[in-house]
């Protein structure tokens, strides 16, 4: 169970090519992560829509083998 941070990062970048992704393993247990994702493609989208784009990139893993991923999204300054 669980996913490693590189795999999560790779999936997000695959789905959102311009994304700058920073993954933090919150407890060092390979199961609770936080992702900070910056992408120009989030421009004009609501927070819900931005997070939905990230979930799409994760291809159904969120809520399954990826139990806990706190997501924060932003557009480039």
Residue ranges in 36-55 that form contacts with other proteins under rule CB under 8 A: 47-48, 51-52, 55
Rounded to the nearest angstrom, the gap between the alpha carbon of residue 10 and the centroid of all alpha carbons in its chain is 10
**CB of 58 vs other proteins, minimal distance in Å:** 8
Smallest gap from Cβ 56 to other proteins, in A, equals 9
In the complex, what is the shortest distance from the CB of residue 55 to other proteins, in angstroms, rounded to a whole number? 5
3-class secondary structure per residue, 39-67: CHHHCCCCHHHHHHHHHHHCCCCECCCEC
HSE at residue 7, side-chain half, CA atoms within 13 A, is 13
Residues that bind other proteins (CB under 8 A): 47-48, 51-52, 55, 60, 62-64, 68, 70-72
């Amino acid at each position: 169970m669980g996913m490693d941070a590189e795999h999560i990062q790779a999936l997000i970048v695959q789905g959102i090519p311009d994304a700058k992704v920073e993954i933090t393993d919150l407890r060092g247990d390979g199961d609770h992560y936080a992702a900070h994702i910056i992408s120009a493609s989030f421009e004009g989208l609501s927070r819900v829509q931005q997070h939905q784009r990230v979930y799409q990139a994760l291809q159904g893993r969120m809520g399954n083998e990826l139990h806990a991923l706190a997501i924060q999204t932003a557009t480039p300054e």
